[in-house]
Amino acid sequence: MKKLIAGMGLLMLGMTTQSRGQGMMDGFMRGQRKASLAITASQETFDSYYVNTTETRDPNLGTVTTQALNAYGVYGLDYDLDFIVSASYARTEASAGYVPKQEGFQDIYGALRWEAFDFKFGEKARLAWLFALGYQMPLQNYVSDGLVTLGRGSRNIDGRTMLHFKGSWFFITAQYGYIRRGQVTLDRVINYYDPAQVNPNAGSTINVPDVTEGILRAGITTKHLYLDGWVQRQIPYSTGTDIAPGVPFPTNAVGFTRAGTTLYLPLVKKFGLTGTYSTTLDGRNTGKSTRLSGGLIIGI
């Protein structure tokens, strides 16, 4: 059961309209030649958002709702090396105004997770130091600069390190990551000119700010239950814009603090159910969103 839950902690962080791909790691290794597959459905909503760090509402936008079907898989290439992949099909729309609904495949994310060191304390406690390197890219050419979007449309490199301590029934994981985001080419020449964000040789190619990220997660894991709580803090590392008329959304400097919880209950042998909840505590150029998801996890 403990192997089956490996990797499930990331599912509550899997999909938002502006933070897809963040927090895709936990500290549990899958194990050599073992695999897990998770299929979940999620819904995320917000009716207020942050312009820079000021919370506001727009009656012409109403409530933005994103529904998604998410697939996540992890396979143990070796006892200390996992391959992780995830993808989503999403639909997002606003309840007011005339903002076009967006629907389609979002991004695909693949990563290698390596357990570099494993220190044992007695028979039941251990401290592991892990590293991960991931890559994210859009699965299709979706609109990335609308008021309602599936994502930012950039190709990203995600590097992070983790310390994972596990006792007999509890664990705590701390991780720090840096996400390098590539440029995005829009289907228009932008009318808001910021020399720091636009390629001077191509007025429709724009920079997407890099971010740093810290996540702290703690919980309990037993034969009959997995339950955790977590806090995620993302901060723009490079200069970006704020939400404003004419601003291409991928250039916005997005940051947030979110918190959530994950529950996993085994059904029979290698099958179990998972449910997650998360909410935004504060933000910068992002929606103040709440997210619910649930689904099935299968061990292979």
Question: What pLDDT does residue 4 have?
Answer: 52
Question: What pLDDT does residue 15 have?
Answer: 32
pLDDT (mean) for 155-161: 96
Question: What pLDDT does residue 63 have?
Answer: 95
- What whole-number percentage of the chain has pLDDT above 70? 87
Residue 295 has pLDDT above 50, yes or no: yes
How far apart CA 152 and CA 144 sit, in angstroms, is 5
pLDDT in tens, 221-264: 998 899 999 999 999 998 889 998 878 889 999 999 999 999 99
- What whole-number percentage of the chain has pLDDT above 90? 69
pLDDT in tens, 174-227: 999 999 999 998 877 766 556 566 665 556 888 899 999 999 999 999 988 999
Residue 21 has pLDDT above 80, yes or no: no
Beta strands in the chain, from DSSP E residues, in sequence order: 35-46, 49-51, 54-56, 64-78, 81-94, 102-121, 125-138, 156-166, 170-181, 184-185, 205-206, 211-221, 226-236, 255-268, 271-284, 290-299
Give Cβ neighbours of residue 13 (< 8 Å, ≥ 6 apart): 19, 22, 23, 24, 215, 230, 232, 258, 260, 278
Closest CA to 246 of 179, 191, 289: 191
- The per-residue pLDDT of the chain, averaged, comes to 87
Question: What pLDDT does residue 197 have?
Answer: 63
pLDDT in tens, 30-53: 999 999 999 999 999 999 999 999
- Full-prediction pTM beyond 0.95? no
Question: What pLDDT does residue 147 have?
Answer: 81
